[in-house]
A and B are shown apart, each in its own frame.
Chain A
């Protein structure tokens, strides 16, 4: 089961470090992340669906990086699993890994939205 520890869903210290302690930059980053990841996730799901593992791995790599920078550690870890499966050409358990990543990403987005509200 994926963890729902609030600290791993969103590591606020990491996000503040990325924003250099600047609240307005933090809000800008949240807005950027929400828009960018929201645009990229359908591509990841489609690539996984079509077993386009290389493409899936590349999208997961990007989502992993931005999630890590935002302090969304659980999502970053889940996207990393998908990225590695894409790189290794591994299809066994892929659906579950993609579902976990999507769920972790949703939790992270929810926390970010509430932080920005």
Chain B
């Protein structure tokens, strides 16, 4: 996974960087919430591991900002902090954190929590792919719905029941529109006028 570690304390940062990197993950590092936020604008990250108390922007605000992004893929957020009271946990989760890791921690616990994070990240990723596939399928259906199968000779239209309707009937049923029966100028010139001329000629002849 691509993991961003945010901590203003160099000791805590180095310990986490070594432990996470040792598990085979790609590690990015930021020194505070502001730097992390800037980095997130151009670096795709699967898991954000952030300290809570930091200068500039603290971990809670960073969580809130991450969750407020509507156009970004899912990111798992873990608060890595000394704060661990019930109120802290509630505040952290309400701000958007998925998990808590209390400092100082054992590497085995970190490994287990990252394992859980990976499951959620993979699930979210597969869900996002399915949603994308469904959206594409829906868009295809919508496109097909806009295509009317119309007879090139008589202009009847095939409806959803696979029955051929006359165009007036189809429009009445689907567009709630009634048709008047007028004659357009082209048809008047090409069809009606010749008929009228023929009738006049017949009258003269008789």
Contact = CB atoms under 8 A, between A and B. Distances in A.
B20 to A, nearest CB: 11
Interface stretch (A41-49, A59-67, A89-97, A99-107): A59-67
B11 interface: yes
A68 B104 contact: yes
Interface in B66-124: 82, 103-104, 106-107
B107 A36 contact: no
A80 B19 CA distance: 26
Contacts, number: 51
B59 to A, nearest CB: 13
Contacts of B19: 20
B10 A68 contact: no
Contacts of A14: 104
Using C-beta atoms within 8 Å of the partner chain, give the interface range for chain B: 10 to 19
Interface string A58-94: 1001101110111000000000000000000000000
A90 B54 CA distance: 22
A66 B107 contact: no
A103 B8 CA distance: 24
A17 to B, nearest CB: 6
A65 B82 CA distance: 7
Given A18-B104, A65-B82, A32 B22 contact: no
B103 to A, nearest CB: 6
Interface string B8-26: 1111101100110010000
Interface residues of A, number: 21
A54 B55 CA distance: 13
A33 B11 contact: yes
A40 B136 CA distance: 56
B29 interface: no
A70 B106 CA distance: 13
B181 to A, nearest CB: 84
A22 interface: yes
A66 B53 contact: no
A28 interface: yes
Interface of A: 14, 17-20, 22, 25, 28-29, 32-33, 36, 58, 61-62, 64-66, 68-70
Nearest first, the 9 closest Cβ-Cβ pairs linking A and B are A66-B11, A69-B104, A68-B104, A18-B15, A32-B10, A33-B11, A66-B9, A32-B11, A36-B10
